[in-house]
Chains A and B, each alone.
Chain A
């Protein structure tokens, strides 16, 4: 009778299994020092999956994009505005309405004259003394006088 090489005798197998069970007994007595709260926390703290881009989200995203583009265009145009050529009217607006009395005019040392010059932009009703380069036009100051019907007043009836 020949014993096969890949066979274990029943006695050896029983003793091996007993030895293994005894050897694993301390490990089998181990308990995991964990509570379910740790798993709950791990599940809660995991990063959520990326949201799907639905129709509403797409509209919102397009709105955000158009707003960003509009703001960028405004900022860009604002940055280039000082370099653009200005029109004649804009140049006129940029002229400071400074009225400086010419030599020989009334002196600004007089407080009443100074206040008149400061508030009305002219130091004297006779503005022919003003410098035409910096002086304001008469139409602006309203020195053309009243119209005909204004001069006649309400007494004249049609």
Chain B
């Protein structure tokens, strides 16, 4: 396995262990397990509230998960802020619309990348809705609690992802 030069990076085991501690602290202090995907759908609910409140009122999911700002909303905003602080303090902040690995294979076209990202994001969110969780909610929080649902979901996330990236990038060649 290659080690790319990236001086600001922490050992993933260390960062992972600290993340585990943060999640324990969160459960201890507020009783909240990590989870993020609902907030994104709520975000859409906010916009809907402005465009078509009548439709919003008809959506059962939105009645159950009202578009309000709550713990998880702030958690998601915090991820943005925390990542920005970490990136800018270590000089690894880099504005780019096309990731390096994507560029190597599919070129520099931001529209092409954006289209795939949009389609992928939609599929991922629908999947998260069906499975009732994302890698944070199921993968981290579920597995932390030894939930069968968490482990199974995590495995399925990876299986689906491995298949697609194999189709996108081909397989077999070793770096």
**Is chain B found bound to chain A in the same assembly?**
no
Residues of B at under 8 Å CB distance from A? none
